[in-house]
Amino acid sequence: MVVQMGEYTFRMDEDGKRLWAGERTYPARLYRHSFADDIPPDDPVWRSLPDYRMETRRALVCFENQWELSTIWGDATYSSNRMTLDRPLLPFIEEPTAVEVGLLAPAPFVIEAVEFEIPNGGKIEMPARETHLWGDPIGWVTVPEYHRLADVVMNLPTEMELPEMDYWDSVEAFCDFIVTLALDQTL
């Protein structure tokens, strides 16, 4: 069997209105961003990196139930062409084999303030905020995992109570959790 790379890669149509995950498409809105545009010209750390640009793509895939998958790839993510400070910058990959996915709820909800300890012994507080992002994004999502996630999300009820979510180490664990949660709330 001959496998074409397109079967296992993500890409956007030229007009930025459809995300291809393998051979399946999703309606989407594309955002292109280069974080280098946001860095002050005198920043000694980031500007010292050769060819630094932090190129990123973000496709928002919105379903009829108003849930969205925020699909991101590029240097500033955990996808296949992420950038780290301990190795040279890899060339940006326009059609990666893995992406980072965040689940955006239809209605915003409040995340309470949280205080973190930082390595130098100090503390930093993240203030309470309103967000649509439910839980942490999931990194290294492959095409088959993306299809599984999309199939689950597109069938969620528009309104449901959202408990606090932790980091998920697999798409399957996340899907099992969210399906059970949705079923419990509809019974």
- Over residues 60-73, the pLDDT tens digits come to 999 999 999 999 88
Cβ atoms of 175 and 69 within 8 Å: the answer is no
Q: Determine the average pLDDT of the residues in 95-118.
A: 86
| β-bridge mates for residue 30, sequence order | 59
Judged against a pLDDT cut of 50, whether residue 158 lies above it is answered with yes
Question: Given this model, what pLDDT does residue 41 score?
Answer: 63
Judged against a pLDDT cut of 50, whether residue 21 lies above it is answered with yes
From the list 69, 68, 94, the residue with the least C-alpha distance to 80 is 94
Q: Quick one: DSSP state of residue 41? A: T
Judged against a pLDDT cut of 60, whether residue 93 lies above it is answered with yes
What range does the domain containing 126 cover?
5-186
CA 51 → CA 76, 82, 83, 169, distances in Å? 14, 14, 12, 32
Residue 147 in tokens: 């299809």
pTM of the model as a whole: 0.78
pLDDT digits (tens, 9 = 90+) for 26-53: 999 877 666 556 666 666 665 565 555 6
Cβ atoms of 33 and 67 within 8 Å: the answer is no
The residue ranges of DSSP E strands in the chain, in sequence order, are: 10-12, 18-21, 24-34, 55-62, 68-74, 99-111, 114-117, 123-126, 129-133, 138-141
Question: Given this model, what pLDDT does residue 90 score?
Answer: 64
Output 151 or 6, whichever has higher pLDDT: 151
Question: Given this model, what pLDDT does residue 2 score?
Answer: 40
Q: In b/e form, how buried is each residue of 143-171, taking b as 16+ CB within 10 angstroms?
A: bebbebbbebbeebeeebeeeeeeebeeb
Number of structural domains the chain divides into: 1
Question: Given this model, what pLDDT does residue 23 score?
Answer: 93
Cβ atoms of 103 and 72 within 8 Å: the answer is no
Q: Which phi and psi (to 5°) does residue 141 adopt?
A: -80, 125
Question: Given this model, what pLDDT does residue 28 score?
Answer: 93
Distance CA 135, CA 103 (A): 7
